Amino acid sequence: MIQRPRGTRDFTPEEMETRRYYEAMMRSACVSHGFREVQTPIFEHTELFTTKSGPGIIEEIYAFKDKGDRDICLRPELTASVIRFFVNDLTNYPRPLKMFYYGPCFRYERPQAGRYREFYQFGAEAIGSPTPEMDAEVIGLAASILERTGLKDYRIRVGHIGLLKGMLRTAGVEGDQALPILQKLDKKMYDEARTLMEAAGMSIESAERVIAMTKVTGPIEVLKDFEGEARTYLEEVFEILGHYGFRNLEVDLGVVRGLAYYTGMVFEVDAPKLGAEKQICGGGSYSLSELFGGEKVFSTGFAIGFDRTLLALEKEGVAPKRFRVKAYVVPVNEGTRKKAYEITAMLRREGVSADMDLMRRNMGKNFKYADAAGVENVIIVGEKEIETNSVNVRDMSTGEQILVPIEGLVARLK
Ligand code: ATP
Ligand code: MG
């Protein structure tokens, strides 16, 4: 037997129903916020991601040479692609340009629960300028999407990279020197961060102050000890989100997102029930387009880990209603088979999901099948009934059977 590659999954019909259900729900949340969907290729020039994240990313992605000797990779995320698309073709769109996407991403990671080599992201990017209202709009969209799914136990943690960067800058550390420190802080690897800060010439006291700052969490009031733009900015974002009706937000200055292009507000969402791989969304405001040869434009975006969100919903016992075929049409004998085809076709044309016996089973076996397959109604096409243009409809949940004129069948089933 040939097995699927490590870290990939096959999805059963039931799983696909669940996935499509939530995908549609997330799409409609985006549409109701005035975001429009875009799609970009699944493979890109590897350079796109090394430009964005540095050469180290190669170790984490599926990168290869194609037959034309080009360096190609499977995308590990979509923000880079969307911004590349913007720089290539979308700069003339009115701004803010609000876009969303959904699709598979690929990373060469060690597979475990909630961590795959092929996984799906549902994300959004708003391109325009950095304002608290833009950031609130994007956080609000992420919050609305999660709210709509019915997920209950999650935390939206909002930070501001400017506070940390500012503190490091005051201590004489910035740019390329600051980045590895921020990356260690992002991963909560404090000892390594301390070592790097001391190596960069910072005093033990100021290194400890930086680490203490990343541990500041709580309601917006925890920022009262900090002065400056970043604080007023976050206060405004929280205020706007309050008007939108979102209250389940907290400040967490430990949200770092260790990539150079994050500029200000950063946020993460986690679902504690997921254990180790609990982060279901990451986002923030950033400036990336100039790295890809465009003008400098500020954007705010996020990516929801679609698979982890579904795992979290499952853990909470939230399950969408299963799809059931409305009508299973069974001719009582060969004599009524033609009529059964006609009825099946009519139902399908009218948008009523309908199946017909394809296995030449007898009545008894057909009923057994209908039961096992979870069909809602069996339509019995009998000889006598056809003469009066009627059929018997058996409701499989109640066992109740009634005679229905074919004319009224669609209305009855709908
Ligand atoms: P992590 O720290 O868990 O590796 P990340 O910082 O790499 O996450 P992002 O690049 O911000 O994650 O991606 C956004 C979201 O995509 C994550 O919050 C997570 O839910 C999901 N995600 C990332 N990598 C994977 C993966 N290998 N399998 C499943 N979901 C993933
Ligand atoms: Mg990762």
For the chain, count helices (H), then strands (E). Answer: 14, 17
> From the CB of residue 287, how many other CB atoms can be counted at a distance below 10 Å?
17
The CATH 3.40.50.800 domain(s) of the chain lie at 327-413
Average pLDDT over residues 250-257: 92
Query: Of all helices (H) and strands (E), which one includes residue 24?
Result: helix 13-32
Spatial contact of 317 and 153, defined as CB atoms under 8 Å apart: no
Ligand nearest to the CA of 114: 1
Q: Which two tokens stand for residue 395?
A: 């409701």
What confidence category does residue 401 fall into, taking pLDDT thresholds of 50, 70 and 90? Answer: very high
- Model pLDDT for residues 358-398, shown as the tens digit of each residue: 998 999 999 999 999 999 999 999 999 999 999 999 999 99
Determine the CATH number of domain 13-316. 3.30.930.10
Q: Closest ligand 1 atom to the C-alpha of 107?
A: 27
327-413: CATH, from 3.50.50.60, 3.40.50.300, 3.30.530.20, 3.40.50.800: 3.40.50.800
pLDDT score at 392: 97
Q: Closest ligand 1 atom to the C-alpha of 308?
A: 20
List the single range of 22-26, 145-149, 258-262 with lowest mean pLDDT: 258-262
- State the burial class of residue 34 (Cβ atoms within 10 Å of its Cβ: 0-12, 13-18, 19+): exposed
d(CA 312, CA 306): 10
Q: How far is the CA of 67 from the centre of ligand 2 (A)?
A: 29
Mutate to test the pocket of ligand 1, among 75, 102, 109, 119 (most ligand atoms within 8 A of CB): 119
Over the Cα atoms of the chain, what is R_g?
28
Q: Whose CA is nearest to atom 16 of ligand 1?
A: 305
Q: Whose CA is nearest to atom 15 of ligand 1?
A: 305
Measure the CA angle with vertex 152, ends 238 and 305; round to 5°: 80
Average pLDDT over residues 191-195: 95
Query: Does residue 118 have its Cβ closer than 6 Å to ligand 1?
Result: no
Average pLDDT, the chain: 95
In the three-class reduction of DSSP (H, G, I as helix; E, B as strand; rest coil), residue 313 is classed as: helix
Ligand nearest to the CA of 122: 1
Q: Shortest CA distance to 83 belongs to which of 144, 128, 113? A: 128
Ligand nearest to the CA of 59: 2
Q: Go through 162-192 and write b for each residue having 16 or more CB atoms within 10 A of its CB, e for each that does not.
A: bbbbbbbeebebeeeebbebbbbbbeeebee
Average pLDDT over residues 253-278: 90
The string of DSSP codes covering 187-217 is: TT-HHHHHHHHHHTT--HHHHHHHHHHTT-E
